Amino acid sequence: MTSVVSGSRIGLDEERRLAVLHEYCLLDAPADDELTTVVRVAALVAGVPTATLNLIDESRQCQLTTYGFEGGNTARSDSMCAIQFRAGRFVHVSDAREHPLYCDNPWVTGQLASVRFYASAPLITPEGYALGTLCVFDDCVKELTDDQAGRLTDLADVLVALFERRRQARLNESLADAAERTKQFTTTVLETIDVGVVVSDADGHVTLLNRAAREWHGREADATLDPSSLPGTYGLFDAEGQRRLQPEEVPLLRALHEGVVQNAEITLRAPGRPVVQLSCTGRRLVDDTGRGLGAVVAMNDVTADRAYRREIEAASAEIAARGEKLAAALVELSRSNEELEQFAGAVSHDLVRPMAAAHGFLDLLSGEYSSTLDERAGKWLTGAMRSVERMQKLVDALLRYARAGQTPYQAEPVALNTVLLDVLADLRTATESSQAQIAATDDLPTVQGDPVLLRQLLQNLIDNAIKYRHPERPCRITVSASSFPDRWVVRVADNGIGIPPEQRERVFEMFAQVDPRQQKGYGIGLATCLRILERHRGRIALEGTPGGGTTVCLSLTK
C-alpha cells in the first residue's frame, strides 16, 4: 500500500539535484547529535526498532545516521529509497514482499536484510530537490496511521532545516574568512604599491597614509591634526614649489568638499625629505545612502617625468629637424589605397609627428645625456627608442602593403625559378642566421604576372616561414608547384610552429596575429600577400603541413 501525503516540485534534472546535494557537504561527514536524535524520534513515532537518514548520490545510498542497526553505504541500485524518492511523495508499504516495486530488492529478499514494513519521507530542499529520505522499517508487517505519516513528514522537514542551518553557518564562516582575507589583501596592496594613498574622515582629519605616502611625508597619519594645519604640517606647496597651499587648495580637502579632484599637481617639501612633485586624483567617499564618510586621494610621483618634460621642451627645436624622414614616409603612405586613407590621416595627426618628436628627443638624450643618466633611466631610454623604431618599421610595413595595391600591375611571363633565386639572395642574411634550408622540389613554372609583386609575394612567405620557425627542429622550407587545366597551384611549405585551423582565415586580415605576445611581426605580411593575389586574380589559402607547420597555397591562372 502506498499513500501520497505531500507533493513537491521535483525536477528531472538529476545533475542539478546532485550539485545541490554536494553543496550541503553532508556525505561522508559525521552526523551531529541533532540529526541522530531526529532519526531516533522517527523510529519512536513509527513504533519500529529501526530508522535511518539516507542520502542518495550518483552511485550509492549513504546512511548518514541510523537507529537500531549499524549503517553504512550501499549501491544506489540496491536502495529501496532510491526507487521513488525523487517523486517527492511519502511512501508507505505494509508488506514489501507483496509489493511489485520492492519484492525483489536485496533489503527485502534477505541478501542485505529481511524488510517487511517500509516507509520513507523525502528530504526536500527549499528549491524542490530531493536529497534522500527519512526511512523507517521493520521485519514484520505493519500499518501506519495518517497521523504517524504526517509526523514523519514533519521530521523530514526538520532534518532539511538542520541541513540548511549547517550550510548557512558554513557560508557565514566562509564570508567572514573572505572578508578578513579581503581586508588583509587590501592592506597588502596599499603597503606595496608605489602610489601614495591618503584618506580622511568626514571632518577632514587624516586617518590613513599608506607606505608610499608615509615615506614622502616622513610621518604617520595623525587624526588629531586640525585640517587647516595640513599644508604646514605636511609641507604642501603649489606645482612650482614656491607657494605654500591654502587649506582649501589641499587636494584631499578639495575632494572632500568638491566631490572630485583630477590630476591636481602639488609639490611636497617635507622637512628632511627629498622634494617630490605629485599628481593627485581623489574623490569624496559616501555610503549607500549618500552620507559622506570622508575622502581619498591617490598621489603619483611625477618628479622625474616633469624634469624630462622640461628637457624635452628645451630641445624641441632640434627634435623637429629629425622628424623629416618619418614625415616623408607619411607623405608616401598617404598616397596608398582607399583602405589606408583613414589610417594614414590618423597616423598623420595622432602618431607620426609625436613619434618623430619622441624619436628625435630620445636620440638627443642618448647622445647628450647618456653619461648623466643612472642605470634604470638608461634602460628606460633604450626601451623607448626600441618602441619608436618598432613603430617606424610598422609604418614601413604599411607602406609595402599600400604599394602592393597601388603599384601599376604590369603582367608578363615570369619564371618563378628566377624569382625564387632573387628572393633567396635578398634573404641570405636571414637564412644564414637561422640555418634555414630552402629548396624547390621540382622546376617551378613560368606564370603570367607582375614580376615585382610576385617577388614581394614569395619574399613575404619565405620570410614568414623563417620568422615563425619551430625552436626545436631545423627550419626547412619547400616550394613546389602543381599544374591544373586552368591554373597553377604553388605551395610554400614549412615545418614551423604552424597556424591553428580556426585562425587560418583571420590571419589575412590587417594587423591579425596568431600570438601577438611574440611580437615577431605586425600582422600585415599575409594581408599584403592576399592583396597581391587579388591583383593577379588568384587565391591564397593556408593548410597544415604533415608533421607540423604551415603550407601556403597560391592559385595563379595560366
3-state secondary structure 374-435: CHHHHHHHHHHHHHHHHHHHHHHHHHHHHHHHHCCCCCEEEEHHHHHHHHHHHCHHHHHHHC
Q: Are residues 121 and 206 in the same domain?
A: no
Q: Measuring CA to CA, how many Å separate 73 from each of 24, 79, 80, 276?
A: 18, 10, 13, 71
Q: Are residues 343 and 291 in the same domain?
A: no
Q: Measuring CA to CA, how many Å separate 34 from each of 41, 61, 287, 538?
A: 11, 21, 42, 80
The span from the CA of 160 to the CA of 155, in Å, is: 9
The span from the CA of 366 to the CA of 373, in Å, is: 9
Q: Are residues 272 and 360 in the same domain?
A: no
The pLDDT assigned to 359 comes to 76
Digit-coded pLDDT (tens) for 476-487: 999 999 999 989
What would the 3-class secondary structure string for 204-258 be? CCEEEECHHHHHHHCCCCCCCCCHHHHHHHHCEECCCCCCECCHHHCHHHHHHHH
Residue ranges of the chain with per-residue pLDDT less than 50: 1-11, 334, 337, 341-342, 344-349
Q: Are residues 166 and 102 in the same domain?
A: yes
Q: Are residues 139 and 271 in the same domain?
A: no
Q: How many Cβ atoms are within 10 Å of 558's Cβ, its own excluded? A: 12
Q: Are residues 30 and 162 in the same domain?
A: yes
Contact in structure between 190 and 206 (CB atoms under 8 Å): no
Contact in structure between 251 and 219 (CB atoms under 8 Å): no
The pLDDT assigned to 80 comes to 96
Residue 496 CB partners (closer than 8 Å, separation 6+): 465, 468, 469, 470, 475, 548, 549, 550
The span from the CA of 454 to the CA of 547, in Å, is: 28
Q: Is residue 114 part of a domain?
A: yes
Domain end residue (candidates: 280, 301, 322): 301
What amino acid occupies position 274?
P
Domain that holds residue 496: 412-557
Q: Is residue 447 part of a domain?
A: yes
Q: Is residue 209 part of a domain?
A: yes
The span from the CA of 156 to the CA of 158, in Å, is: 5
Is the pTM value of this prediction over 0.75? no
Contact in structure between 453 and 400 (CB atoms under 8 Å): no
Three-state secondary structure call for residue 469: coil
The pLDDT assigned to 324 comes to 67
* CB hemisphere CA count around 290 (13 angstroms): 0
Q: Is residue 180 part of a domain?
A: no
Counted residue by residue, the chain has a size of 558
C-alpha cell at 388: 619608436
Q: How many domains does the chain have?
A: 4
Which element (helix H / strand E) includes 436?
Answer: none
Q: Is residue 466 part of a domain?
A: yes
The span from the CA of 355 to the CA of 392, in Å, is: 8
Digit-coded pLDDT (tens) for 485-517: 989 999 999 999 999 999 888 888 877 677 666
Query: What CATH code is carried by the domain that includes residue 156?
Result: 3.30.450.40
Q: Are residues 210 and 239 in the same domain?
A: yes
Which element (helix H / strand E) includes 533?
Answer: helix 525-535
Q: Are residues 380 and 433 in the same domain?
A: no
The pLDDT assigned to 6 comes to 40
The pLDDT assigned to 136 comes to 98
Q: How many Cβ atoms are within 10 Å of 482's Cβ, its own excluded? A: 12
Q: How far is CA 423 from the centre of its chain?
A: 42
Domain end residue (candidates: 301, 333, 354): 301
Q: Are residues 417 and 358 in the same domain?
A: no
Q: How many Cβ atoms are within 10 Å of 313's Cβ, its own excluded? A: 10
Which residue, among 460, 441, 458, 440, has the nearest Cα to 449 in the 3D structure?
A: 458
Q: Are residues 362 and 393 in the same domain?
A: yes
Q: Is residue 7 part of a domain?
A: no
The span from the CA of 325 to the CA of 389, in Å, is: 13
Q: How many Cβ atoms are within 10 Å of 19's Cβ, its own excluded? A: 11
Query: What CATH code is carried by the domain that includes residue 213?
Result: 3.30.450.20
CA dihedral for 491, 495, 499, 502, sign (positive or negative): positive
Contact in structure between 124 and 130 (CB atoms under 8 Å): yes
Q: Is residue 182 part of a domain?
A: no
The span from the CA of 153 to the CA of 134, in Å, is: 8
Domain end residue (candidates: 301, 335, 352): 301
The pLDDT assigned to 305 comes to 86
The span from the CA of 348 to the CA of 126, in Å, is: 65
Query: What CATH code is carried by the domain that includes residue 487?
Result: 3.30.565.10
Which residue, among 501, 514, 426, has the nearest Cα to 462 in the 3D structure?
A: 426
The span from the CA of 144 to the CA of 139, in Å, is: 15
Q: Are residues 338 and 477 in the same domain?
A: no
Q: Is residue 178 part of a domain?
A: no
Contact in structure between 365 and 383 (CB atoms under 8 Å): no
C-alpha cell at 213: 605616502
Q: Are residues 165 and 94 in the same domain?
A: yes
Contact in structure between 278 and 299 (CB atoms under 8 Å): yes
The span from the CA of 544 to the CA of 128, in Å, is: 52
* Phi, psi dihedrals of residue 432, rounded to the nearest 5°: -70, -40
Q: Vertex 124, ends 122 and 126: CA angle to 5°?
A: 165
